[in-house]
Amino acid sequence: MKITLLSILAALIIAVPASAQDIVTRKLAFTSGGDRMVGVLHLPADHAGKKLPGILVTGSWTTVKEQMAQNYARELARRGYAALTFDFRNFGESGGEPRSLESPARKVADFKAAASFLRTLPEVDAARTGVLAVCASAGYAAQAINEGASLRAYVAVAGWFHDKASVGSIYGGDAGVARRLKAGEDARRAFESSGEVRYVKAFDYEDESAAMVGPFDYYGRADRGRIPQWDNRFAVMGWSEWLTYDSVAAAKALKVPSLFVHSDNAALAGNVRAIYQAVGAPKELAWSSEGHLAFYDEPHVVKRSTDEAVRHFAKYLTRDLGPLGSAEEARVISLVSSIPLAVDLADYDLAMRAFAPQITIDYTSLWGGEPQQLTPEELMTAWRGIVPGFDATRHEIADVTVEIDGDKAKASAFVDGRHYLGDRVWRPVGTYDWQLEKIDDAWKVTKMTFNLTQEIGERSLASEAMERAKRK
């Protein structure tokens, strides 16, 4: 009996489970405003020799790199990114005085310094850098980009965006804001006259003098955000800058592709919707129902939010397009680009025309096993045995490159393959390599190889789709 690609896929879908990618970290240092900054670079364990897209990852106000930023950096590294966390000046392991001073102006400057430093790292592709900012740092990141930070894509997770119109809703109305502003100015004068730094707790469940007061378990529990590296202090003079900072205006002015991951039950949701409407660049909104602090460290929320971020980065952190190329290169690009489109359209006749009479198909990076020698008809039979079982598929292809040598050619491209069953999705992400020959004056694919770099979602959807396709 002839063994087909479909039967091999059926066996391997069950036999080969998805595995999480291990990560490694490296501590490093750079400077901002003359002060030493300390960061940690999170990398996939198999990063050697690769130039990865680089992402700055930052957390909420008053926090350090080992809190929520670390959670997202680890997830990004598992998905094939170089993720840099760092302590802003005046916090954690970084230098700067006075300590624990929440200064939007300094943090914006630190963002710009970190973005420049990220591009110099040997593991990072300088043309593909972005930012994932959690909570308050989302405003600082937006302003840094507006002021020239070299970051090509922006993600705000549970972004905290306040302005003059909304700050009172958080801090007890006009009277509460005025009281804190006065305390901040008094503390600043004391510092300027004597060097005294007045502090309150950054968080307390009941102490009304703390910067954050209430049932915020993330900051109150040692198994969540109350870690030894965080000193739970707030320099009172910081109220002056923080309460007058307009992060809404900063975010509305974004000119890079932007994603806002938020919730009706997260802070200042109305401001996030208004920002999303105002942004003139390509934009996306990922909305859910979790509370604000769930985005900091609840594993399923962090993983889902990272999935959304990776989808956004994969779409927009592409390599430079380069020269236009020749007409012959355009013919090759059109041919290979038609294959995933034909699959999504279920136009198997269109797909079959792209292939030579005999094809080598190599999906071993995804399923294991060995490459298969097939006819176009056999390949279409295999695809018909699984693709119609999904509710929809969507293959995004980018960065197509071509090399032509007489009647032979090679092409490669980034691909993000999204396979849907209801609200669930399976996304093998990576590159395709094609080998082609000119046959009767038409380019035909003789070999097609998929190289998996990331796998997102539920691989089990593939076997479910095969069962559904059998019943159709």
> Residue ranges per domain, the chain?
23-162+245-316, 321-471
Q: Say if residue 342's pLDDT is above 60.
A: yes
Q: What pLDDT does 16 receive?
A: 32
Which of 320 and 257 is assigned the larger pLDDT?
257
Q: Say if residue 17's pLDDT is above 50.
A: no
Segment 74-126, tens digit of pLDDT: 999 999 999 999 999 999 999 999 999 999 999 999 999 999 999 999 999 99
Q: What is the mean pLDDT of the segment spanning 306-322?
A: 84
Q: Which fold has domain 23-162+245-316?
A: Rossmann fold (3.40.50)
Q: H/E/C letters for each residue in 230-246?
A: CCCEEECCHHHHHHHCC
267 closest CA partner among 61, 58, 57, 55? 61
Confidence of residue 19 (pLDDT cuts 50, 70, 90): very low
- Whether 74 and 130 have beta carbons less than 8 Å apart is answered as no
Q: What pLDDT does 414 receive?
A: 85
Q: Say if residue 321's pLDDT is above 70.
A: no
Which of 377 and 327 is assigned the larger pLDDT?
377
211 closest CA partner among 174, 186, 238? 238
Q: Which two tokens stand for residue 165?
A: 């119109």
Q: What pLDDT does 324 receive?
A: 58
Tell me the pLDDT of the chain averaged across its residues.
92
Confidence of residue 345 (pLDDT cuts 50, 70, 90): very high
Q: What is the mean pLDDT of the segment spanning 438-453?
A: 94
Q: Say if residue 239's pLDDT is above 80.
A: yes
Establish whether the linkage from the previous residue to 98 is cis, with ω within 30° of 0. Answer: yes
Q: Which 3 state secondary structure label does DSSP give 51? A: coil
Q: What is the mean pLDDT of the segment spanning 335-355?
A: 93
Beta bridge partners of 36: 31
Q: What pLDDT does 84 receive?
A: 98
Q: What pLDDT does 108 receive?
A: 98
Confidence of residue 318 (pLDDT cuts 50, 70, 90): confident
Q: What pLDDT does 320 receive?
A: 56
pTM of the model: 0.67
CA atoms within 13 A on the CB side of 33: 15
Question: How many other CB atoms sit within 10 Å of the CB of residue 181?
Answer: 16
Q: Which residues contact 40 (CB under 8 A, 6 or more apart)?
A: 25, 26, 27, 28, 65, 70, 73, 84, 85, 86
Q: What is the mean pLDDT of the segment spanning 241-248?
A: 98
Above pLDDT 90, what percent of the chain? 86
* CATH code 3.40.50.2300 for 321-471: no
Question: How many other CB atoms sit within 10 Å of the CB of residue 344?
Answer: 15
Q: What pLDDT does 453 receive?
A: 82
Confidence of residue 322 (pLDDT cuts 50, 70, 90): low
Which of 248 and 431 is assigned the larger pLDDT?
248
Segment 356-411, tens digit of pLDDT: 999 999 999 999 999 999 999 999 999 999 999 999 999 988 878 899 999 999 99
Q: Say if residue 1's pLDDT is above 60.
A: no
